[in-house]
Structure 1
Amino acid sequence: MGHRYSTVVKTIQDNALVIRDFTSLSYDGLIKAVEELNIILDDLAKSEKNDFQLLFAVSSDDTSYLWKALVKITCCKINKTTNSIETEKCLDLPRFLRIYRELSKRYAKKSQLVQEDNTSETNDDLTISLILSRVDEIQREVVEECCICMERNSDVSLACAHSYCKECIHLWFDEHNTCPICRETVEGRKELWVLADKPSQIEIADYEMGFSDDH
């Protein structure tokens, strides 16, 4: 019971740090974080005898008001021999920040052990393969928070099935008539579904078919 409690507390603390980072982060700060992460990965790749390395890249240069919701960070698995990309994992900003915090913390601990010449402890928890596995885990996790503000839960859904909190999506609709993520056209606030009454996939499909018929 005590171990489970401490695990929950640690998760809450980690999420709070991610939200803090998310709130204060600028686009230039994101670019710097990606560069720092790639330096760490390059150092790990040089010390390991395998055929691949990881590289993070920002896949969008959108710096508008909603860049935090729209930006994607791609994790590429690169074959060292052919210099080609074998796989790509796409992360949103909150998921990337979790990877960044975890990896930076572990790398700092490893560097400290090296400086202290402490070879009695293992550093097997910081390898390219395990980092890639961790990226996979975080990529599959379900995020319920609004992807725009990361402070409130998503409570409304659009016809395209992307969800946001009411405050953020209403602010967006003051100047736009599209979904912030996929840019599908939205004909006003009447097309919002409250998540408690979120339609099934069949209902969404029927709605989209009807919308197409009108055009």
Structure 2
Amino acid sequence: MNFAQIVPSIPFILEGIWVTLKIVGLAALLGFAFGIILALFKIGKIKALTWFADVYTSVFRGTPLILQLMVVYYGLPQLIGFQIEAFPAAVISFGLNSAAYISEIIRAGILAVDKGQREAAMALGIPYRKMMWDIILPQALKNILPALMNEFITLTKESAVVTVIGAMDIMRRAYIVGGEKYAYFEPLLFAGLIYYVMVMGLTLIGKAVERRMRKSD
């Protein structure tokens, strides 16, 4: 191994961190927002919406993420008539995939909240939407924070698959450097180190937020 040969290319690889974080951040926001909607559909009384949410979750959890990414990037343009850039394609596919998992996490968190909270709110005449937003969801989020952080960490690692559609993330840049140097092991190992540091950082942030939320109880 000769890591000295990739030293000049390290800044180029490191620039991929920002691309990766933007994809993961936007996808997480999309997944969280849509995940809440799906979770409310699942626990609601409208059967059509419950059926839609269940089928959606089944499809996105039952098919590979890379397949969903390639359908959005390569297949969707066939229907809409224009090519989607790699970055928005990654955000859309990751966000939709993450929503399926997050919806299950949020649904479990909502159901774990004491039924007395809901009954008390209904007795006071609080509207359903206000009850969910101000009473039930805040309590549910405290319980599911570790699971949400785990999903965010998983999303960070899985974001490496965007290299198949040419997005200039960490993995793609490491692959390009490997092609230029005719040596892939060193740049790919360096990319793995970057992902590891990012995941460990997110883990520490998650634990800090969890401790702070527990102290606020």
TM-score range, shorter chain: under 0.3
Normalised by the length of structure 1, the TM-score is 0.26
By relative contact order (CA 8 Å, sep 6+), the higher-ranking structure is 2
Q: Which structure has the highest helix share of the two?
A: 2
Q: Which structure has the highest strand share of the two?
A: 1
